């Protein structure tokens, strides 16, 4: 997972920076609902390799692993100093519905970040689910291609 992240950023950091309005200034991981591990295993894995300060996102106890929809008050984040110049890069190890990453992006913007990028390293798909079929068809050939990112397509 670490190799995938570093390879992706090596190839596509400029793509992300172009959409963010500049290179990411901070990094934050979508907190896990399953465990209360601090730091998050993904943050622990990455450490200081991105040479960016980490932001902490605190989840509301109101929502748990069963929550599958966007929630405005799911996360609380405090941005340091001049929040208007902070461009957070959200990292998520698994995308299921996107509700957690989107709720965290909302919280970061509400705290003052003018733009936010989300980088997802994995995707959870139920092949038997009808809504998954277009995505499965789209990634069929080639199965995996790191040469172009979603921004370039």
Binding site for Zn ion (CB under 5 A): 12, 15, 149, 152
- Closest CB 124 distance from Zn ion, rounded Å: 23
In contact, 115 and 19? CB cutoff 8 Å? yes
The C-alpha atoms of residue 45 and residue 42 are separated, in whole angstroms, by: 5
Of 79 and 149, the one with the shorter C-beta distance to Zn ion is: 149
Of 56 and 121, the one with the shorter C-beta distance to Zn ion is: 121
The beta-strand segments (E) located in the chain are 26-29, 57-59, 75-77, 88-92, 117-120
Of 128 and 152, the one with the shorter C-beta distance to Zn ion is: 152
Of 66 and 152, the one with the shorter C-beta distance to Zn ion is: 152
Residue with tokens 């989840």: 59
Residues pairing with 59 in the sheet:
75
- Closest CB 47 distance from Zn ion, rounded Å: 24
- Closest CB 15 distance from Zn ion, rounded Å: 3
């Amino acid at each position: 997972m670490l190799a995938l992240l570093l390879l992706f950023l090596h190839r596509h950091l400029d793509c992300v920076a172009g959409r963010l309005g500049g290179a990411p200034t901070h990094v934050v991981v979508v907190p896990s609902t399953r465990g209360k591990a601090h730091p998050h295993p993904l943050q622990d894995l990455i450490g200081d390799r991105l040479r960016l300060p980490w932001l902490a996102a605190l989840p509301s106890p109101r929502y748990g692993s069963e929550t599958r929809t966007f929630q405005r008050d799911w996360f609380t984040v405090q941005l340091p100093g001049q929040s208007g110049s902070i461009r957070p890069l959200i990292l998520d190890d698994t995308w299921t519905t996107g509700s957690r990453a989107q709720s965290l992006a909302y919280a970061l913007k509400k705290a003052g970040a003018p733009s936010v990028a989300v980088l997802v390293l994995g995707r959870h798909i139920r092949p038997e689910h009808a809504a998954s079929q277009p995505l499965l068809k789209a990634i069929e050939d080639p199965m995996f291609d790191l040469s172009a990112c979603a921004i370039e397509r």
